[in-house]
Chain A
């Protein structure tokens, strides 16, 4: 019961990620593409933690923390650059 619901949750998250990928390919301006990447990375944190649950490995949670930190820094760098340059 519980594992079936978790599998359903992973498939819903992957479907949402697919919508973001469509916006990443279509997006008319560069800011739209960065928004799509931002949403995809915040979504991928949940996917990584769900993979940690399925595999039963605690170390993947640390991977999710580092991934979130790097994606935040990347998005912030792109935003500051396109606002007024470094």
Chain B
């Protein structure tokens, strides 16, 4: 039973680390600033939550504080991404040439 729980926790942690790897690769690979922000933030948030839950299965007495940490990451990571996207748009970072629509520029135009 204990070994089964450990292998399950290791598999969940491995899935989370795969999401973190894909997030880092998206930051390297995407064409412009906003795509990089989206790929990095979404994948790294999910990967961090999965890794924390997997380690919590290893150590059941740590589970409460790891859950608090996962909730904290889930709360703060989208806020930081939103602030960075607004900052990029306000400092006029160019969009990719394949961008279809820019709603914020349409709304701010008089």
**Chain A contacts to B: CB under 8 angstroms:** 1-3, 5-6, 8-10, 12-13, 15-20, 22-23, 29, 31-32, 34-36, 38-39, 42-43, 45-46, 49-50, 52-53, 58, 61-62, 64-65, 68-69, 72, 75-76, 78-80, 82-84
B: number of interface residues (CB 8 Å): 54
Q: How far is the CB of A64 from chain B (nearest CB, A)?
A: 6
Asked if residues B24 and A68 are in contact (CB atoms below 8 Å), the reply is no
CB-nearest residue of chain B to A22: B28
Q: List 14 A-B contacts (CB under 8 A).
A: A3-B10, A17-B24, A29-B88, A35-B36, A38-B40, A42-B45, A43-B48, A46-B51, A53-B58, A61-B66, A65-B65, A75-B83, A82-B87, A83-B90
For the A-B complex with A16-B20, A29-B88 known, give 5 more contacts whose Cβ atoms are closer than 8 Å. A6-B10, A16-B21, A50-B55, A65-B72, A68-B76
The 5 closest A-B pairs by CB, nearest first: A16-B24, A5-B10, A79-B83, A19-B24, A9-B17
Per-residue A-contact encoding for B1-25, CB less than 8 Å = 1, 0 else: 0010011011101101110111111
Complex partner residue of B88 from A10, A12, A18, A31, CB under 8 angstroms: A31
Complex partner residue of B87 from A5, A20, A31, CB under 8 angstroms: A31
CB-nearest residue of chain B to A38: B80
Most central of A5, A9, A38, A72 by chain B CB within 10 Å: A9
Complex partner residue of A65 from B7, B14, B16, B69, CB under 8 angstroms: B69
Asked if residues A39 and B40 are in contact (CB atoms below 8 Å), the reply is yes
**How many Å lie between the Cα of A61 and that of B58 in the bound state?**
14
With a CB–CB cut-off of 8 A, which chain A residues contact B25?
16, 19
Q: How far is the CB of A47 from chain B (nearest CB, A)?
A: 9
Asked if residues B17 and A46 are in contact (CB atoms below 8 Å), the reply is yes
With a CB–CB cut-off of 8 A, which chain B residues contact A68?
69, 72-73, 76
Q: How far is the CB of B4 from chain A (nearest CB, A)?
A: 10
